A = this chain, B = another copy of it.
């Protein structure tokens, strides 16, 4: 059960909610833009569906509207940002813009962030670098859902890796991927629809492969990319660990099992090491002409993209895609047709509407 809403109407609604939480107009617009971009790109789990979750974290005192993120240490090419328990949707662009400014000055910029909250889709922040013609990188850790290879225990988030790379005439290459075999959002869709998961996404409470999408709530865990040891689940574990260390340990944020949960009703981890606070992120920006002339790079990127698009496909009807193609196609479609919201999401947003006296839009169909 889905209804479609125009992007503009949902944007106005989302900004209205953030305004009522106490954010200034520019902040509300910026935070709403991150959520809307997720819905536009088809990453429905990270879009407006999460707005009630951010509100609940704010109510629980875990997100501070008056937060003032700031640089607490820096070198010419690096910075440590303290998020001051701010909304990740705002802390992340703040930090990414510092990385970009440093890249403008000294060729590259790298910013690690502690004491933040969930920042929405990683790809949004990486893509900010494209506006400057740079390569952008965004990583974040997240609350533990994934079991390392050989483990029963959930120790890592779905810890995404996002990289945006500009091209010339072709659209940019945009990678935005969870380091688990499947992100939790895909599982939630199956839970709503009552379907079974492919083998390789989840293990049950005994560590056996299962198709049950509810196994996670019954002591199971998501599996790292690679799914099984013999097909490389230790590699997915390595990638998730790398994201956790750069995003969490490097800045002094929570890490591993001590990353605070997104849902407000789960308690904060009690035994976290001292000085490891909040969710952590890691951002990077690389200036192309810090390596070679941008025009030459862009020409080769166009060749790369065209050659990969032309790779012989297994099925003629399914040509090889470039990272970012599916999301770009989805965005074009949703800009036209509107954003579909599941009825459970609509209900939750209508509750926010009533509570904050911000009118909820009518569907376009």
Contacts and interface: CB of A to CB of B under 8 A. Distances in A.
Given A106-B75, A320-B150, A300 B255 contact: yes
Nearest to A105: B76
A56 B335 CA distance: 56
A194 interface: no
B238 A232 contact: no
Interface residues of A, number: 91
A182 interface: yes
A365 to B, nearest CB: 31
A76 B73 contact: no
Interface string A187-222: 000000000001011000011000000000000000
B236 A225 contact: yes
A3 interface: no
A245 interface: yes
User: How many copies of this chain are found per oligomer?
Assistant: 2
A116 interface: no
Interface in A212-244: 225-228, 230-232, 234-239, 241-242, 244
A300 B287 CA distance: 31
A276 interface: yes
Given A232-B181, A235-B177, A275-B296, A163 B312 contact: no
B75 A288 contact: no
Interface string A131-155: 0000100000000000111111101
A303 interface: yes
A233 to B, nearest CB: 9
A201 B256 contact: no
Interface stretch (A27-35, A45-53, A58-66, A246-254): A246-254
Given A234-B323, A252-B297, 14 more contacts: A77-B290, A78-B108, A106-B106, A150-B321, A151-B313, A152-B314, A153-B311, A175-B242, A225-B232, A227-B231, A239-B239, A251-B292, A273-B300, A276-B300
